[in-house]
Amino acid sequence: MENQNITVFYKWTAKEGKFDELKSIYDEVYKEMKDNEPGTLSMQYYFDKDQNALVVNDLFEDGAALGAHLGGTAAHHFQKLSEIAVPGPFFFCGDVPEDLKQAAIGMRMGAEFSDQIGGFSRN
């Protein structure tokens, strides 16, 4: 399947007493993605109160859009997020270019990759 969208599901678990700061950073991430990443088709984030974590679901148009996000918004916030929360796992679903796979693996955030084999969308 060529030119498929890439979905990324992931979690950030806040360190003790840091959830409000984590949420605040993600409010900034949301705004930056919405305003500056036209290849990001969707971004949703959720609160898992049992695990004191944010669960995030991003949908990118393609590998170029994912790369723009990783090199822009994600890179801008990753260090600060890593100081207040534990990353992962990160599930990348779709046709992720090999260089982006290697970059994600190198970030040690529990990256896993799956190729799409089927499905449908009613959008």
Please report, for the chain, the start and end positions of each structural domain, with discontinuous segments joined by +: 6-114
- Per residue, what are the HEC states of the chain? CCCCCEEEEEEEEECCCCHHHHHHHHHHHHHHHHHHCCCEEEEEEEEECCCCEEEEEEEECCHHHHHHHHHHHHHHHHHHHHHHEEEEEEEEECCCCHHHHHHHHHCCCCEEEECCCCCCCCC
Model pLDDT for residues 16-40, shown as the tens digit of each residue? 999 999 999 999 999 999 999 999 9
Residue 3 pLDDT > 80 = no
Beta-bridged to residue 114, according to DSSP, are 93
Of the chain, the percentage scoring pLDDT greater than 90 comes to 80
CATH code linked to domain 6-114: 3.30.70.100
What was the pLDDT predicted at 120?
A: 81
What global pTM score does this model have? 0.90
